[in-house]
Structure 1
Amino acid sequence: MERFLGVDLGGTNIKYAVIEIDGTSIKEILKDQISTEAKNGPDHVTDRIANLMKKIDSEMAIVGAAVAVPGIFNHDTGEILLFPNLPGAWENFPFSKKLTDATGKSISLINDARAFCLAESTLGAGRGHRFVACIVMGTGVGGGLVIDGKVHEGATRGAGEIAHQVVAPDGLVCGCGTRGCVETLTSSAAISAMANTSTPEEAYERAKAGDETAIAAFRNAGKWLGIALANVNAVFSPEVFIVGGGVAQAGDLVLDFIRAELHERNHLWPNSAFKVVPAQLSFFAGATGAALKAAAAAGTQLSFTSIT
């Protein structure tokens, strides 16, 4: 029996989960969160995570740990390259090294959307499928690809950025620096702006009540995401597309528009060859995925017959 800790670093909260693996059985034995206090900068945030890791390790004898991060990092050095939605001087910050030095453990990093995808493909809506594509709709829009239970990383180890396909070359500048990415048209901010609301939650409530402007905002987001997934379908041909994140909580209001656009643009194989489904796991999917990453880094096989 081995225990692994996963931490999901967000702009507002740091979520964490501990999984216990015994052969082909896996059990989630802890999940909780603390505030990020991101405004205090990288060193402060790192100290909060390191102290959390040391506390949990002292109580549960953790074998390994990993952190899901909201951006791009150097896979060889563990340095942060880009955190577009976190304040502070994160560029070139030696995040992994500082955590390792503070805890005495080798700390793995994984992109937060890829962590979500690993969790969903292993324990959630993608379980039992070999080829899985995920999209996470929220403040930013992330993505990931899983093949045979492993995150597909590509040559740069950054593959899966579904939302950074350019679909509007003369469109808005994205947080990544490119103009016209899918993210600029499908994020929570994009939906709120088009719906003339303060939040996507307000847009959802108005859409449910029949407000045509709000419905059009979700239709527009669904259209562009459907186009993006049609491109992924042509190149990757997944069995299942899993849609998660805050915006995806609108359910079929956004999923139906995504499905319609994807089906309309698919002329390569039957629409029955794939499906678009909502995520199954909880608010802590990213933390669970990070824990699975830690287990994989320790050489543990991620194939389970019993999930509790």
Structure 2
Amino acid sequence: MTLLGVDVGGTYIKWALLDGDAVAGSGVVSTPPGPDETVALVASLAVRGVESVGIGLPGHVDRETGTALFVPNPPGDWDGYPVGPRLSALTGTPVAVVNDARAFALAELLLGAARGLPDVLFTVLGTGVGGAVAARGAILVGPRDNLGEIGHVTVDPWGAPCCCGGRGCVETFAGGPAIVRAFGSGPPEAVAAAARAGDGRAIEVLARAGWALGVALGDAASLLGAGAVVVGGGVAGALDLMSSALHAELERRRPLIGDIAVLPAILGPMAGAIGAALYGRRSS
């Protein structure tokens, strides 16, 4: 059974073809300027023999209708866009439309770092900061596929405005654009390189990102009782530079939340696409 999974980001689209649980092909392309162009691109990736398509979007979706509800980061106007029906009409296959962080989490839960762990928090560091929750071995969803939005936990009520309408969310500290803004130049990989070279400002920016993650994850662990966190996404390559501040916050909450294992994702940049494909398999 050949499955296509697609992870739509604010800058890039990642895609993966699965043959069973094995990746048979993958790639990365620039995100097109709007939803029509994105759907057309995804349809072009559905090679002959693909039996289902899963597409992960960085925002809230209606899984039942395949509609984008609140997708702020990719170019164009996605709100209310019927992704599933249009993509299904072009490909002739079943289409699953899911949140990208939930797709990432499913892949890491079934095939990656969280395999065998029943209760896990997930966070995805990229253009935005996504999150997900696994309880008793299942990814929790919510009515708008919105359960687990760790990136929009407020850590500084007087902080910078966030795209969600709040202020001082984790995303305003630990998202790729936020890191670049705080440092003054980019991309995020360059900020990490500067920190490793001893640049004090870069070290401070990434420590602040780790602090924000630690605050939010400590709150989430106290609410949900999870014993592990899996961190992935394009900015997660700088996790080691954030980890001291992150662990300090979790340690501060240790009397309440206990020991929390912080695990790097192991499926790499294609985790979201792999998870989207797995959701597509469930819909076919």
TM-score, normalisation: structure 1: 0.86
Cα distance between partner residues in 2 of 1:277 and 1:103: 37
Q: Is 1:33 the equivalent of 2:15?
A: no
Deviations 1:57-80 (A, max 9, x none): x1xx23322111122222232222
| Structure 1 residue ranges without an equivalent (≥5) | 299-308
Q: CA deviation at 1:155?
A: 4.4
Aligned residue in 2 for 1:157: 145
Q: CA deviation at 1:34?
A: 3.4
Aligned residue in 1 for 2:173: 185
Q: CA deviation at 1:297?
A: 2.5
Cα distance between partner residues in 2 of 1:223 and 1:147: 25
Range with greater deviation from structure 2 (127-136 or 75-84): 75-84
Cα distance between partner residues in 1 of 2:55 and 2:74: 15
Cα distance between partner residues in 2 of 1:62 and 1:44: 20
Q: Is the 8 A contact 1:227 1:265 kept in 2?
A: no
Cα distance between partner residues in 1 of 2:80 and 2:239: 38
Q: Is the 8 A contact 1:7 1:15 kept in 2?
A: yes
Aligned residue in 2 for 1:304: none
Larger radius of gyration: 1
Range with greater deviation from structure 2 (106-115 or 179-188): 179-188
- Write the letter of the residue equivalent to 2:265: A
Q: How does 1:1-308 map to 2 (within 5 A)?
A: 2-21=1-20, 26-36=21-31, 38-39=32-33, 41-53=34-46, 56=47, 58=48, 61-271=49-259, 274-298=260-284
Residue 193 to residue 114, structure 1, CA distance change in 2 (3 Å): same
- Write the letter of the residue equivalent to 2:248: A
Cα distance between partner residues in 1 of 2:78 and 2:142: 24
TM-score, normalisation: structure 2: 0.93
Specify the SS of the correspondent of 1:284.
helix
| Structure 2 residue ranges without an equivalent (≥5) | none
Specify the SS of the correspondent of 2:134.
strand
Seq. identity, %: 39
Cα distance between partner residues in 2 of 1:150 and 1:297: 16
Q: Is the 8 A contact 2:230 2:262 kept in 1?
A: yes
Q: CA RMSD in A?
A: 1.8
Q: Is the 8 A contact 1:118 1:149 kept in 2?
A: no
